[in-house]
C-alpha cells in the first residue's frame, strides 16, 4: 500500500505547485493549512491529464503519470514567478465575532473529534477491501487495462471478437487513478481503492475547513464538518471502492467555490470551480449534466458576477468534449437514451417508474441513520433565513437540491433497466452529491442566521 501513499505524495506536491501563485508570501504554517485543497487540486488535474493521455493513445502508467505531474508542477511554478503577487490570491479572512473561552473550548473539542474520525477513515481505508462489486467488476479492471495497454477499443467498445468491459460510457478519471495506484504498488490489491477513497475523504474535510475558514466562526464550521464526518454513510461509502463519493466531493467543492466567487469576485475561486467541476464531469456519466445544471442554476440565482459562472460551466463542458468525441467515433451511447428521456410519449408509457425512483431517492436523503439529517437541516436553515429576510438568495440550496433531485428522478424514469433493481443498487449512492452540497451549505447558512440575529440584537 506504500504505492498509494507515493502517488498521493506526488499529487500533493503538484497541488502545492499549482497553488504557489496564490499562496506566495504566506508563512509555512499557512501553506500547510491548504494541504487538503492542494491534494484534491493535484488529484483533479493529474487525473484529467491521465484521462486525456489515454484518449490520445498513451497508457496511464507511471511514466505518463510522471510526465503529467511534471508538466503541471512546472506550469504552477512558472506562474508563481511570472504572475504578480496577489493577483491570484484567495480573499482575506472576513471579520468574525470575537470568540469567548467557551466557543474556543468547543472548537478544540470538535476539532479533536474530527481528527479521530479522519484517522478512522484512513485506517479503515488502508485495512479494508471494497464491498461494492462495481469496484472490482468495472472500475479497477478498466484502470489496470489503461495502465498497461491504454484505451484499446477491443476492450472498451462492444464487439463480437473480444470480451469488453461493462458500462462503456463511463468516463475514465477514477479508473485511471485506481490503475495507477495498483501499478505503482506493484500488485493488484483492491484495498488500494479504499485507501485512495480514505485519503480523498480526509482531504475533502480539510479542504472545506480551509476554504470556509474566515467565513464561518470556527465552532460552527467544525460542528458542521463533524456532522458530515460522523455520518454512517460517509465512512461506509469511503470503504466501498465506488466513484460516487469522489464525484460528490468534486461537485460540491465546485459549487462551494462558485459561492465564494460570487462573494468575492476573486479569480482563485473561479479557477477552483472549473478544475473541480471538470474532475466531477470526468468521473461518472451523470457528472457532466449535474455540474453544468447546478452551476447554471447558481448563476441564475446570483444577483451579480453570474457571467463568471456561465463561463466556468462552458469550460467544464468543453473539457468533456474529447471523451464525448471518442465515444461518438466508436458509437458508444449512454445508458439513458436522450431521445427516450425527452420523448413525452416514452415517458408517459413508463410513468410507473417515476414513483419508485422518487421514493427510493427520498428515503436515502431523509434517513437519519445514513446522513444524520444533513439535507433536512440544510433546507430548514434556508427556509428559516428566507422567513427572516425574504431574500431569494436564501433559497439557493433548496433550488439546487430540487434540480439535482429532479435530474436523478428523470434518469431513473428514462432508464431501461428494471426499476426496482436499479433503485435498490444505486439510489443510496447517487444522492451523495446532493448530500455533500447540503452539508457544505449548512455552515454558511447558519453563520448568516447567527450574524443576522446578532445585528438585530445590537440595534435593539
pLDDT value at residue 456: 58
Q: Are residues 40 and 150 in the same domain?
A: yes
Q: Are residues 341 and 201 in the same domain?
A: no
Q: Are residues 138 and 235 in the same domain?
A: yes
In this model, does residue 308 exceed pLDDT 90?
yes
Q: Are residues 193 and 68 in the same domain?
A: yes
* Residue 184 is assigned to a structural domain of this protein: yes
- Split at pLDDT 50, 70, 90, the class of 413 is very high
* Residue 395 is assigned to a structural domain of this protein: yes
* Residue 331 is assigned to a structural domain of this protein: no
- Split at pLDDT 50, 70, 90, the class of 459 is low
Our count of domains for the chain comes to: 2
For 104-158, the pLDDT digits (tens) are 888 999 999 999 999 999 999 999 999 999 998 899 999 999 999 999 988 888 8
User: Average of pLDDT values for 74-87?
Assistant: 86
pLDDT value at residue 336: 73
User: Average of pLDDT values for 2-18?
Assistant: 95
Q: Are residues 351 and 217 in the same domain?
A: no
Q: Are residues 448 and 352 in the same domain?
A: yes
Q: Are residues 133 and 238 in the same domain?
A: yes
pLDDT value at residue 320: 96
User: Average of pLDDT values for 273-287?
Assistant: 97
pTM, two decimal places: 0.95
pLDDT value at residue 93: 58
In this model, does residue 273 exceed pLDDT 80?
yes
pLDDT value at residue 164: 77
Domain boundary (196, 222, 252) is at: 252
In this model, does residue 12 exceed pLDDT 70?
yes
Kindly state the percentage of the chain with pLDDT values over 90: 75
pLDDT value at residue 303: 80
Measured distance between the N- and C-terminal CA atoms of the chain, rounded to whole angstroms? 60
* Residue 319 is assigned to a structural domain of this protein: no
Q: Are residues 212 and 354 in the same domain?
A: no
pLDDT value at residue 288: 96
* Residue 123 is assigned to a structural domain of this protein: yes
Of 443, 90, 18, the C-alpha closest to 265 is 90
Q: Are residues 234 and 372 in the same domain?
A: no
Q: Are residues 386 and 243 in the same domain?
A: no
Domain that holds residue 243: 1-85+109-252
Kindly state the percentage of the chain with pLDDT values over 70: 96
d(CA 160, CA 150): 20
- Split at pLDDT 50, 70, 90, the class of 455 is low
* Residue 91 is assigned to a structural domain of this protein: no
Domain boundary (252, 282, 310) is at: 252
In this model, does residue 460 exceed pLDDT 60?
no
Who wins on pLDDT, 75 or 390? 75
* Residue 374 is assigned to a structural domain of this protein: yes
pLDDT value at residue 91: 72
pLDDT value at residue 83: 81
* Residue 315 is assigned to a structural domain of this protein: no
Q: Are residues 140 and 7 in the same domain?
A: yes
- Split at pLDDT 50, 70, 90, the class of 286 is very high
For 432-451, the pLDDT digits (tens) are 999 999 999 999 999 999 98
Who wins on pLDDT, 243 or 90? 243
- Write the CA distances from 344 to 291, 333, 348, 410, 416, integer angstroms: 25, 20, 6, 12, 15
Domain boundary (218, 252, 286) is at: 252
In this model, does residue 2 exceed pLDDT 90?
no
pLDDT value at residue 346: 87
Amino acid at each position: 500500500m506504500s504505492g498509494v501513499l507515493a502517488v498521493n505524495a506526488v499529487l500533493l506536491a503538484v497541488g502545492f505547485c499549482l497553488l504557489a501563485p496564490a499562496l506566495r508570501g504566506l508563512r509555512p504554517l499557512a501553506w500547510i493549512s491548504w494541504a487538503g485543497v492542494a491534494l484534491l487540486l493535484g488529484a483533479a488535474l493529474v487525473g484529467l491529464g491521465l484521462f486525456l493521455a489515454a484518449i490520445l493513445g498513451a497508457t496511464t502508467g507511471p511514466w505518463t503519470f510522471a510526465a503529467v505531474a511534471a508538466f503541471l508542477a512546472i506550469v504552477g511554478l512558472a506562474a508563481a514567478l511570472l504572475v504578480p503577487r496577489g493577483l491570484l490570491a484567495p480573499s482575506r479572512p472576513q471579520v468574525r465575532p470575537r470568540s469567548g473561552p467557551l466557543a474556543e473550548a468547543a472548537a478544540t473539542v470538535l476539532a479533536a473529534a474530527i481528527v479521530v474520525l479522519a484517522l478512522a477513515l484512513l485506517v479503515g481505508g488502508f485495512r479494508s477491501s471494497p464491498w461494492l462489486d462495481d469496484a472490482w467488476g468495472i472500475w479497477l479492471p478498466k484502470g489496470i487495462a489503461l495502465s498497461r495497454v491504454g484505451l484499446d477499443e477491443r476492450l472498451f467498445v462492444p464487439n463480437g471478437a473480444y470480451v469488453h468491459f461493462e458500462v462503456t460510457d463511463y468516463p475514465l478519471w477514477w479508473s485511471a487513478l485506481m490503475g495507477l495506484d495498483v501499478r505503482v504498488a506493484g500488485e493488484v490489491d483492491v484495498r488500494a481503492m479504499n485507501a485512495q477513497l480514505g485519503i480523498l475523504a480526509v482531504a475533502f474535510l480539510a479542504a472545506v475547513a480551509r476554504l470556509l475558514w474566515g467565513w464561518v466562526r470556527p465552532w460552527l464550521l467544525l460542528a458542521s464538518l463533524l456532522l458530515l464526518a460522523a455520518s454512517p454513510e460517509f465512512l461506509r461509502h469511503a470503504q466501498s471502492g465506488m466513484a460516487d463519493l469522489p464525484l460528490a466531493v468534486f461537485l460540491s467543492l465546485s459549487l462551494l467555490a462558485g459561492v465564494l466567487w460570487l462573494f468575492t469576485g476573486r479569480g482563485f475561486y473561479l479557477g477552483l470551480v472549473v478544475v473541480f467541476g471538470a474532475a466531477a464531469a470526468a468521473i461518472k456519466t451523470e457528472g457532466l449534466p449535474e455540474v453544468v445544471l447546478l452551476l447554471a442554476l447558481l448563476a441564475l440565482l446570483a444577483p451579480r458576477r453570474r457571467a463568471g459562472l456561465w463561463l466556468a460551466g462552458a469550460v467544464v463542458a468543453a473539457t468533456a468534449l474529447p471523451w464525448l468525441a471518442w465515444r461518438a467515433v466508436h458509437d458508444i451511447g449512454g445508458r439513458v437514451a436522450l431521445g427516450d428521456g425527452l420523448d413525452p410519449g416514452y415517458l408517459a408509457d413508463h410513468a410507473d417508474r417515476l414513483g419508485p425512483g422518487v421514493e427510493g431517492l427520498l428515503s436515502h436523503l431523509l434517513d437519519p441513520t445514513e446522513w444524520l439529517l444533513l439535507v433536512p437541516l440544510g433546507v430548514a436553515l434556508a427556509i428559516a433565513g428566507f422567513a427572516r429576510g425574504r431574500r431569494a438568495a436564501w433559497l439557493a440550496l433548496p433550488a439546487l437540491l430540487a434540480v439535482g433531485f429532479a435530474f436523478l428522478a428523470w434518469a431513473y424514469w428514462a432508464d431501461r433497466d428494471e426499476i426496482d433493481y436499479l433503485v435498490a443498487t444505486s439510489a443510496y449512492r447517487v444522492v451523495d452529491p446532493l448530500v455533500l452540497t447540503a452539508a457544505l451549505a449548512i455552515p454558511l447558512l447558519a453563520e448568516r442566521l447567527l450574524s443576522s440575529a446578532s445585528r438585530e440584537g445590537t440595534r435593539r
